[in-house]
């Protein structure tokens, strides 16, 4: 009977029916609506090969855990059947690994929370792990024999990873693992940062950290250290910054030019950076291309000043900035503390005791700095406003990188674990 009605009446009746169903909640949501996500923090347990998932704010309570090396047996078989790979695998264990295999360096979630993408130094790869099942989704072997720090683009679609013995940064599609581009760096590429809304990638190479030529007069034996800025679309080199020249102009020829962790101000006009062997950091004016200030932080009297005892040449390793751009959080790795520094005055706050803090990240609400205590197997939250410790949460063996992430709401761990 409806087919005999005029077309305009049929459209009117259909529109009224849809409106009525929508009013009572029928068809109110798209059929393929994206799953609800929860904001979390991932804590990479480097020597254990797992990530602990904790709340990103509040009490930072533990939510769950995921194994990031489900393919461990297969990878080890491949390594032990290849003499060259085996030599590097054992070398990583005895040098940067401090006698341990390095299974988890850096990690991010895909935009939909369906996978964690992780760099695995001892396996020289980047892998995607399904957050629902814990299974390997894809794997990308990097150039050379070790993978390191990563960065994810602002839109969450691309991940940049340092191939530390290949002197290369690979940029991958975060969902498929396909390489979309790469660019050459200095020796031992380390930290990566996307800037200008994802237009550029900054890479900091730290040079040779595994030898004991650590005295200032032996600095020339540490390799080619520089900041490489690449276009994130074409992967062409845009600029190279040699901090050796800038440090010399600032009057600090005695300082290493190996740039370690960094923090940009919210407008990206100023860069703060740590260097090897130094208990402090520098301030760099990006437009003027010059170092403007230096901050020396307290030394722990119990810390051995012998540079060869510093882990991978880093006396302090880890820094972050609050969203307002008014406070810095510094991880004093070898000095066993963390502290909040006022950016205007560079005055540090209370020294919060911590066991070999190795990284510093901002909480989801921006109120706290979260550091990884690699020597105590825990993460600790510090209030940006007061500089005081909020809480500590136990995690796995040798936590290093801590990253904000998103997982499906209600996630507590892979179903197939």
H helices of 208-260, in order, are 243-249
Say if residue 317's pLDDT is above 60. Answer: yes
Give the residue with greater pLDDT, 329 vs 220. Answer: 329
pLDDT in tens, 236-246: 999 999 999 99
- The per-residue pLDDT for 416 is 57
Give the pTM.
Answer: 0.90
Say if residue 330's pLDDT is above 50. Answer: yes
- The per-residue pLDDT for 20 is 38
Percentage of the chain modeled with pLDDT above 70: 92
Give the residue with greater pLDDT, 12 vs 377. Answer: 377
Q: How much is the mean pLDDT over the chain?
A: 92
Average pLDDT over residues 70-98: 95
pLDDT in tens, 343-352: 999 999 999 9
Say if residue 8's pLDDT is above 50. Answer: no
Residues 297, 354 contacting (CB under 8 angstroms): no
The DSSP symbol for 300 reads P
Say if residue 69's pLDDT is above 80. Answer: yes
Nearest Cα residue to 402 out of 284, 283, 261, 300: 261
**CB count in 10 Å sphere of residue 32:** 5
The CATH code that applies to domain 37-408 is 2.130.10.10
Domain limits, the chain: 37-408
User: How sure is the predictor about 311, in pLDDT bands with cuts at 50, 70 and 90?
Assistant: confident
Average pLDDT over residues 88-104: 94
Average pLDDT over residues 264-289: 98
Long-range contacts of 366-369 (CB under 8 A, 24+ apart): 366/322, 366/323, 366/324, 367/57, 368/57, 369/320, 369/322, 369/329, 369/338, 369/340
- The per-residue pLDDT for 32 is 61
Average pLDDT over residues 375-391: 98
Sign of CA dihedral 137, 141, 145, 148: negative
Residues 190, 204 contacting (CB under 8 angstroms): yes
- The per-residue pLDDT for 31 is 54
Report, in angstroms and rounded to the nearest whole number, the Rg of the chain calculated over CA atoms: 24
User: How sure is the predictor about 56, in pLDDT bands with cuts at 50, 70 and 90?
Assistant: very high
* pLDDT-wise least confident of 7-11, 46-50, 268-272, 391-395: 7-11
CA distance 158 to 156: 6
* pLDDT-wise least confident of 212-221, 330-339, 366-375: 212-221
Say if residue 13's pLDDT is above 50. Answer: no
């Amino acid at each position: 009977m409806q087919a005999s009605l005029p077309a305009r009446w049929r459209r009117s009746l259909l529109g009224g029916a849809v409106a009525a169903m929508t009013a009572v909640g029928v068809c109110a949501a798209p059929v393929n609506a994206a799953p609800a996500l929860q904001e979390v923090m991932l804590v990479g347990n480097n020597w254990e090969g797992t990530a602990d998932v904790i709340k990103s704010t509040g009490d930072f309570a533990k939510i769950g855990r995921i194994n990031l090396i489900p393919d461990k047996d297969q990878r080890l078989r491949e390594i032990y059947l290849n003499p060259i790979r085996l030599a590097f695998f054992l070398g990583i264990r005895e040098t940067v690994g401090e006698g341990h295999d390095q299974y988890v360096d850096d990690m991010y979630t895909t935009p939909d929370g369906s996978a964690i993408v992780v760099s695995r130094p001892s396996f020289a790869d980047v892998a995607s792990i399904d957050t629902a099942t814990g299974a390997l989704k894809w794997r990308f072997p990097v150039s050379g024999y070790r993978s390191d720090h990563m960065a994810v683009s602002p839109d969450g679609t691309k991940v940049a990873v340092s191939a530390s013995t290949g002197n290369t940064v690979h940029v991958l599609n975060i969902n498929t693992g396909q390489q979309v581009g790469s660019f050459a760096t200095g020796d031992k590429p380390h930290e990566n940062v996307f800037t200008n809304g994802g237009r550029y990638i900054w890479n900091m190479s730290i040079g040779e950290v595994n030898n004991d030529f650590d005295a200032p007069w032996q600095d020339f034996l540490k390799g080619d250290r520089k900041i490489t800025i690449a276009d994130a679309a074409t992967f062409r080199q845009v600029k190279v910054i040699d901090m050796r020249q800038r440090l010399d102009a600032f009057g600090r020829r005695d300082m290493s030019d190996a740039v370690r962790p960094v923090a940009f101000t919210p407008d990206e006009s100023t860069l703060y950076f740590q260097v090897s062997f130094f208990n402090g950091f520098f301030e760099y004016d990006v437009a003027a291309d010059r170092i403007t200030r230096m901050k020396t932080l307290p030394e722990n009297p119990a810390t051995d000043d012998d540079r060869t005892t510093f882990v991978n040449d880093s006396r302090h390793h880890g820094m972050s900035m609050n969203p307002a751009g008014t406070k810095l959080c510094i991880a004093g790795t070898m000095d066993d503390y963390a502290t909040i520094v006022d950016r205007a005055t560079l005055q540090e706050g209370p020294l919060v005791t911590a066991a070999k803090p190795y990284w510093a990240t901002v909480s989801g609400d921006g109120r706290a700095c979260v550091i990884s205590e690699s020597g105590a197997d825990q993460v600790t939250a510090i209030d940006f406003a007061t500089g005081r410790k909020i809480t500590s949460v136990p995690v796995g063996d040798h936590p290093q990188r801590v990253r904000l992430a998103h997982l499906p709401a209600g996630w507590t761990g892979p179903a197939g674990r």
